Amino acid sequence: MTGWAQQLAALEQAGTPCVLATLCRAGGSVPAPVGARLLLAGDGRQWGTVGGGALEATVLEHARALMGGGGSEWLHLPLSEQGQCCGGMVELLLESFGGGPVLHVLGAGHVGQELARVLEGTRLRLCLVDPREEWIARPGLPTGVHAHPMEALAYVKGLAGDRSRELLLILTHSHELDLEVLRSLAGRPWGWIGLIGSRNKWRSFRTTLEREGVASAWLDGVSCPVGDSRTGKAPREVAIALAREALLAEARLHPAEGSVCPGDACH
């Protein structure tokens, strides 16, 4: 595996979006050979080059626009139009990796394991969090899952910035930890937060958090109970219900052009 391929694999494993630019065709005098590659990560790091100068600046501009979308773009660039005197022409393929919405799942127990399998092949990128080695490193997890062997509270505290386009599902093994996670999240923008548990659990949590000053408007955005108890209580049945709710929440955040979410149609 070449250096750029290793780095691409590492970025995908870490859940970092990136764009790979490959110089596919060239004519005349050009600053880099066919096959030259440039890899740009969403955090600004980059590897390789497709020629430098104004040409590379243009490629980077297109790469940033493509970042996180999961698509591709074909660029035809006469170098004279890039302010370079080489006089040649290049064509490049830009491919976006690691795109798509993120679902952070706190808890890799029985339900978390089944949820990872149910969501395999969907548009959701799954980040699975659990400090228990016997669960987070369990054989059989889909290869696309980004496993984080760490405490849930430490993980959410490390998620800085605006998360209003991302989803989070709380499935930890401890009610006390669930409450601590919600305290840590309180007031921060999220696209969707789901919490597994009963109506009684949520009433207790909500009362406690409101007494501590958490805004009712923020608490209104937490989905609890999450899923649908009518589907059954076996881990896979619960996971299917959770997957459906997460996918519908994501569809409301990123509606496809011309689509209508179930339940939103005119009656």
Q: What is the pLDDT of residues 170-229, one digit of tens each?
A: 999 899 999 999 999 999 989 999 999 899 999 999 999 999 999 999 999 999 999 887
In a domain, 262, yes or no: no
| Residues 107 and 81 occupy one common structural domain | no
Nearest to 170 by CA among 255, 98, 184: 184
Are residues 153 and 76 both part of a single domain? no
CATH number for position 149: 3.40.50.720
Among candidate residues 97, 112, 146, the one where a domain is terminated: 97
- Establish if 267 belongs to a structural domain: no
Q: Looking at the structure, tell me whether residues 26 and 60 fall in a common domain.
A: yes
Are 116 and 34 in the same domain? no
The answer as to whether 218 is a domain residue is: yes
Question: How far apart, in whole angstroms, are the C-alpha atoms of residue 175 and residue 56?
Answer: 52
Position 232, amino acid: G
Domains held by the chain: number: 2
Query: Which residue among 77, 97, 117 closes a domain?
Result: 97
pLDDT tens, position by position, 30-89: 788 889 999 998 888 889 999 888 888 999 999 888 776 667 899 888 876 655 555 678
- Domain end among 97, 116, 137: 97
Say yes or no: 27 and 76 in one domain. yes
Q: Burial letters for 204-223: b for 16+ Cβ neighbours within 10 Å, e otherwise? A: ebbeebeeeebeeebbeebb
Q: Which domain holds residue 36?
A: 3-97
- Residue 65 and residue 141 in one domain: no
Residues 135 and 249 occupy one common structural domain: yes
Sheet containing 125-129: give its strands across: 146-148, 125-129, 102-106, 163-170, 190-195, 222-223
Q: Order the strands of the 46-48 sheet from edge to edge.
A: 46-48, 37-41, 18-27, 89-97, 72-78
The answer to the question of residue 264 being in a domain is: no
Helix%, strand%, coil% for the chain, nearest 5: 35, 25, 40
Total residues belonging to the chain? 267
Q: Examine residue 265 and state whether it is found in any structural domain, yes or no.
A: no
pTM for the full predicted model: 0.67
- As a whole number of angstroms, the distance between CA 215 and CA 212 comes to 9
119 and 65 within one domain: no
Give 62-99 as a DSSP string: HHHHHTTS--EEEEEEEGGGGT-TT--EEEEEEEEES-
Indicate whether 226 and 190 sit together in one domain: yes
Whether residue 155 lies inside any domain: the answer is yes
pLDDT at 265 over 70: no
Identify whether residues 145 and 68 lie together within a single domain: no
- Is the Cβ–Cβ distance between 80 and 29 less than 8 Å? no
Residues 227 and 123 in one domain: yes
What is the token pair recorded at 178? 């669930």
Helix (H) or strand (E) holding 38: strand 37-41
Q: Are residues 216 and 198 in the same domain?
A: yes
Enumerate the H helices of 89-198 as residue ranges: 110-118, 133-136, 152-157, 175-185
